[in-house]
Amino acid sequence: MPDRRTIIQGLGALPAALALRAVPAGARTPRKPPRIRLGDTVGLVEPAGFSDDPAQIEAVENTIRAMGLVPRVGAHVGARHGYLAGTDRQRAADLNAMFADDEVRAVFAVRGGWGSARLLPFLDWKTIRANPKLLIGFSDITALHLAFAERAGFPTIHSPNAGNSWQEISWNSLWHLAFAGATPTFRNPQIRTDDPIAQERWRTVAIRSGKARGRLLGGNLSVLTALVGTPWLPDFDGAILFLEDTGEAPYRIDRMLSQLALSGILGRVAGVVFGRCTRCGSGVEDYIGFTIPELLHQYFAPLGVPAFHGANIGHIANQLSLPVGVRAEIDADLGSIRILEPVVA
C-alpha cells in the first residue's frame, strides 16, 4: 500500500525549500501542462490492467487525497475485459474524458500491466493537444508517454503509478517537477556505508564518459520496442534515451536492444541512461551467458555517446519520477540527470 505518511510529511516540507526555484510568472509556455496545486482535482484511469478489488481503488483514492489532491475516478475504472480494465474503447474514453474535463488538472494511471498501446488509435488527439495536462505513470504507460511525445506535443512524467508505493524519492521528485515547476538535478543517493548491498543498490556505472544534452525520451524497454515500426514513436534524433525493464531474461534484453540498434534508434541518440532491470536473471543454474551489464556495454559503448547504467529508474521501490519530452543533460561519470526546462507552466 502506498506510504501516505511519507507523502503528507513531504507536502509540509517541500514548498518552502523549493519556492525560489519555481517557474517565474512571465515564463509560461502554452504547450506546457499547468502545474499541480494543492486542492486540484486529478483524474484516475486504468489504461491497461484491471484492479479486481474495490478496496484497491479506495486505497488509491486515499493516496491521492494524502497528496493534497482530489481524485476523480474514471467511469470504467474497476471494469474488466479479459486481463484489461474494460474494452479498448472504454479505457480510451476515460482518458479522453479526463483531458476534456476542465476541472481535471492532471491524470494519474492507477496501474500498468498491458494494454495501453491498444488505446492509441482511439484517443482524441485533437482534444488532448488542446488541453495539456500531466500524464503520470510508468511501465505499460510508456506507450502513452511516447505517443504523447509524438502526437500531443507536451511533457509527461514517468513515475510510480497511483497504486504503487510513493516513498521519499518518488514523491519529492514528483513535487519538484509537477508542483514547484523546478528544474532539479537527479542523482542516486550518495551512501557512505560499508554495506555492500547498499553500495550496489545506489551505484551507477559509466559505460562511456562525458556529458550530453537532448530531449529526454524513453521508459520501459519492452513497451518501447513493441512500438518500433509504428507511427506512435517520437523522433529520437539527438535525444537522451532512458530505459528500464523487469522480469526479462538476458537473451530477451539482448533481442530488444538489437531491435533498437537495427531500427536505427540507438544510432540517433545523444546519450543513454539505463535504470534497473529487476528480476532479469536467467533463471538457469550455472548460467554462462551474457549478464545485463555486459549487454549494455555491448550495445551502448560503440555508440560513442555518454551512457551510464544504474539510475534509480524502473520497477523498484522509491524510483525516481522523471519527465518525458523535456530537455535534459546527463553526466555519465556522475550518474546525474539535470532537467534543463520546466515540465509545467
**CA angle 330-335-336, nearest 5°?**
50
Q: If you search the block for the grid coordinates 506546457, which residue do you land on?
A: 32
Q: Is residue 341 classed exposed, middle or buried when 0-12, 13-18 and 19+ CB atoms within 10 A define those classes? A: middle
- Cα–Cα distance, 315 to 193 (Å, whole number): 24
Backbone angles phi, psi at 82, to 5 degrees: 65, -125
- Cα–Cα distance, 175 to 178 (Å, whole number): 5
Please list the active-site residues. 139, 244, 315
- Cα–Cα distance, 89 to 81 (Å, whole number): 11
Give the residue ranges of DSSP H helices in 20-163. 54-66, 88-100, 116-119, 125-130, 142-151
Among 141, 240, 245, 132, residue whose Cα is nearest residue 186: 240
Backbone angles phi, psi at 101, to 5 degrees: -85, 115
Cβ partners under 8 Å of residue 215, min gap 6: 234, 238, 239, 240, 325, 326, 327, 328
Q: If DSSP codes are grouped into helix, strand and coil, which group holds residue 122?
A: helix
Backbone angles phi, psi at 63, to 5 degrees: -65, -45
